[in-house]
Amino acid sequence: MTDVTTRRLDLAGTRGFATPGAGPARRRALAEFGSSWLQDVWRGACGGRRHAGVALAAVGSLARGDGGPLSDFDLVLVHHPRGLAGPEVAAFADRLWYPIWDAGVRLDHSVRTVAECRAVASEDLSAAMGLLDLTHIAGDVDVVNAARSTVAHDWRANARTRLSEIHEAVTARHARQGDLAHLIEPDLKEAHGGLRDMTVLRALTEAWLTDRPHGAVDEAYERILDVRDAIHVVTGRGRDRLTRDDQDACAALLGHPDADELLTELSGAARTIAYAADSTLRRALQSQRARTLRVGPRRPQLVPLGYGLYRHDGEAVLGPSADLASDPVIPLRAALVAARNGIPLSPATLQNLGAHAPKPPEPWPEMARGVFADLLATGPGVVAVWEGLDLAGVVERWIPEWAAVRSRPQRNAVHRHTVDRHLVETVVSASGMVRDVARPDLLVLAAVLHDIGKVPGAIDHSHEGADIAERILRRIGVAEADREIVVRLVREHLTLVDLATRRDPEDPATIETLSDAVGGSVMTLDLLRALTEADASAAGPKAWSDWRAGLVHRLYQACRQALVAANGADRPRAVEPLEPLPLAKDVIEKVAVGEAHVSVVSLGGAHRIDIIDRDRAGLFADTAGLLAAHGFVVRSATVRTLDGLAVNEWWVDSPSGENPLPEIIGRDLTRVGAGDRAPLGRLQRRKAARPVRSPGSGSPDSTRAMVISSASDSATVIEVRATDRAGLLQDIGITLARASLAVRSAHIATYAGQTLDTFYVTELGGSRLAPARAAQAVAMIIDTCDGP
């Protein structure tokens, strides 16, 4: 080891790695030593002569003063074209570089004039960002200042054209390197949330496009630099990747009790930088759009998204009418709206939610539970939204137990993410299988909680997690029967894959063990199969191979056939309700003269709308369409007939925040019944603006409809599963009316953004449908839900 390398490591070692705040002092000392040593090399190369118009400058970590013990030197020999001639410059450069190489220091070098610095910066994005840090080491300071100021001037002048280039480069690097916060062997420099992102932040502020966050971001940057320095000392090499083999030694050097604590702290720091980099880049892009489009004073362009949220410059923002203090559901709704629209919550909105949103009451309101399940079922859009809410402290307010798994590493070859990110990725995987199960809301709840027991000191995380999940679900207010299913799924989430890979899937004992694990329930078995696949897919390719998937499917099918043969499928059945109590005389008289009777009861943000009207063909479709036209979202409904009257109960929520007005709904329903379709106009315009998808496209969210032959002796029962959307119920109702079918009763439920609707239909004369008519009705419903 050379004297220079030894001295650098000695300087690092004397600065107390485990001492809080020692990192900046250590890096300043290393930078001062490096600059001083290079000045000695410069004087040796000059041989006592003074060279005008020539200077040695640094870029990279040496220029910024944040280099590690064994970081390489990025040097530029800057010269004036009227100074040394070409051969003289080359010979002088050799006299500089060779002593550095001989000292064993890694060197990245170049020789450029001021004009060449400018030209390289205009062509190479990475070189441009590096030259923004150009710092004088020795020689003529004026030539270095000229190069740096010229590059900085061009950087600001061309910011508009270069910004898209920065965005593309950053996006590609993040996709290639992954998230530092959630990787087990991260690259501290190139990964998302790493040291390179801080360079991007500085470059954006240097362009005068936007400011960057400070405070917590600067502290996070120092923590990552500390880990990088420890890697250099432990390995004796200038590496940036923290491998499993080096984690224990680095943790000990930095004063952590174990590697898990080191990785947890590193993950938290990386998340802070990643969020700052993403939000700052969005701010810069927004500023350029504003500068490009603005003519005169710029007014905010706010597009309503519902529930008091608006789209502004590619982000979701809370409107001024949101009352966080009195409505604990607002953070959940804000998250749902942002995730469904595939946009992040704005930093200001996150700060507002983190500072002022109260904890939900215990138990949660029913509306809050429904919105939470809908949020978890939104798919990939939930990842960025959840991350922002977690950094703002909102997720921990919903689930205090989340703090124990936040940024917790999983140091094994199967998992590629930290515990918390793995839970979110499992939710995303599960959201693609919500159509495969009877209760998608229970699936996504199990997905977000299945590894909640991976806390320090846990011996069996499945059983530990089941106990924790029980507390969480009880606090949320999940009904006892549903709670038991989710807790069972958390406790048994490894059982199916373990039995499939370690036992004979055709052995009756294996099937019996799995049957006991799911409590003899076909529905729970279906949920467990979906959770198993979601969990393994989120863990990584090593956890879910074609071979493993085949074994799981084989055992699942064998167990399901055994359960169906023994007990019958236990999918939820909509049981026709008992006849309602006798109606009041004044209500009957009102309906008799052609007026619909409507009453509204509002409970905790949800609204129950009771509607009584004369039964007629198309009434179900008209009512569903009218509620959608008024901007209400149907959560559940029960529709039935009694002595020629339709007696219907609809549960809705209101994205606009407006309460249903019974007299308006009653008046519009009466108008529609008389043939005036004008009240439905707004819904038709919303349907026309909806993206068109070709029927039968085979997409994962294609509608599933089936006849439940054993559900009723007097009506044909059709069960429909589809993705919920505005006007869906009206479309189905119209389809049934066009098929000349009477809806004797309908039972509408929405779980995690998926409808599970059951229709009891008959011919107009009251008889059950013939098999061919039933098949025709099913096909028409599928085409209606999937088509334009």
The secondary element (H helix, E strand) that includes residue 727 is none
Rg (CA), the chain: 33
Q: What is the 3-state secondary structure (H, E, C) of 579-642?
A: CCCCCCHHHHHHHHCCCCEEEEEEECCEEEEEEEEECCCCHHHHHHHHHHHCCCEEEEEEEEEE
Dump pLDDT digits (tens) for 666-719: 899 989 888 888 888 877 665 555 544 444 433 445 788 999 887 788 889 999
- Other CB atoms within a 10 A radius of the CB of residue 646 amount to 21
Per DSSP, what are the bridge partners of residue 110?
A: 76
Mean pLDDT calculated for residue range 255-273: 90
pLDDT higher than 50, residue 788: yes
Q: What is the pLDDT of residue 461?
A: 92
- 373 vs 548: which has the higher pLDDT: 373
Chain position carrying tokens 């549903």: 482
pLDDT higher than 80, residue 204: yes
Mean pLDDT calculated for residue range 361-382: 90
* Closest C-alpha to 402, from 381, 419, 385: 419
Q: What is the pLDDT of residue 699?
A: 41
pLDDT higher than 70, residue 575: no
Mean pLDDT calculated for residue range 561-567: 87
Dump pLDDT digits (tens) for 25-56: 888 888 999 999 999 999 888 887 777 789 99
Encoded amino acid at 217, one letter: V
Q: Which fold has domain 3-157?
A: Beta Polymerase; domain 2 (3.30.460)
Q: What is the pLDDT of residue 299?
A: 58
Whether domain 585-786 has CATH 3.40.1020: the reply is yes
Q: What is the pLDDT of residue 480?
A: 95
Mean pLDDT of the chain: 85
Share of the chain above pLDDT 70, in %: 92
Mean pLDDT calculated for residue range 318-344: 85
Report whether 649 contacts 655 (CB < 8 A): no
pLDDT higher than 60, residue 516: yes
* Closest C-alpha to 390, from 439, 423, 362, 433: 423
Q: What are phi and psi of 761, to 5 degrees?
A: -120, 155
Give dist(CA 553, CA 397) in Å, integer. Answer: 38
781 band by pLDDT with thresholds 50, 70 and 90 = very high
535 band by pLDDT with thresholds 50, 70 and 90 = very high
Q: Is 713 helix (H, G, I), strand (E, B) or coil?
A: coil
Report whether 733 contacts 771 (CB < 8 A): no
Q: What are phi and psi of 486, to 5 degrees?
A: -65, -45
Q: What is the pLDDT of residue 698?
A: 38
Q: Which residues contact 171 (CB under 8 A, 6 or more apart)?
A: none
Max mean pLDDT range (252-261, 489-498, 668-677): 489-498
- 286 vs 461: which has the higher pLDDT: 461
Mean pLDDT calculated for residue range 61-80: 90
Encoded amino acid at 638, one letter: T
- 207 vs 267: which has the higher pLDDT: 267
Dump pLDDT digits (tens) for 438-460: 899 999 999 999 999 998 877 88
Dump pLDDT digits (tens) for 149-192: 999 999 988 888 888 889 999 999 998 988 898 887 889 999 99
User: What CATH number has the domain spanning 161-293?
Assistant: 1.20.120.330
pLDDT higher than 70, residue 262: yes
Handedness of CA 730, 735, 740, 744 (dihedral sign): negative
Q: What is the pLDDT of residue 772?
A: 93
* Closest C-alpha to 555, from 498, 638, 611, 600: 498
Report whether 52 contacts 102 (CB < 8 A): no
Q: Which of 84-93, 124-133, 243-252, 392-401 has the lowest mean pLDDT?
A: 84-93
Q: Which residues contact 123 (CB under 8 A, 6 or more apart)?
A: none
Report whether 366 contacts 606 (CB < 8 A): yes
Note the Cα 169 to chain centre separation in Å: 22
Per DSSP, what are the bridge partners of residue 318?
A: 309
pLDDT higher than 80, residue 611: yes
The string of DSSP codes covering 395-457 is HHHH-GGGGGTTT----SSS--S-HHHHHHHHHHHHHTTGGGSS-HHHHHHHHHHTTTT--TT
Give dist(CA 420, CA 402) in Å, integer. Answer: 8
Hey, what are 663's tokens?
Answer: 């007299």
Q: What is the pLDDT of residue 765?
A: 81
Dump pLDDT digits (tens) for 73-109: 999 999 987 766 667 888 888 899 999 998 888 899 9
Q: What is the pLDDT of residue 506?
A: 79
Laid out side by side, the sheet with 315-318 consists of 303-306, 309-312, 315-318
Please determine whether the domains at 3-157 and 161-293 fall in the same fold group of CATH: no
Q: What is the pLDDT of residue 300?
A: 61
Domain edges within the chain:
3-157, 161-293, 305-398, 585-786
Share of the chain above pLDDT 90, in %: 36
Q: What is the pLDDT of residue 571?
A: 47
Instruction: List the alpha helices (DSSP H) in 103-215.
Output: 114-123, 125-131, 141-157, 159-177, 195-206
Hey, what are 287's tokens?
Answer: 């500023």
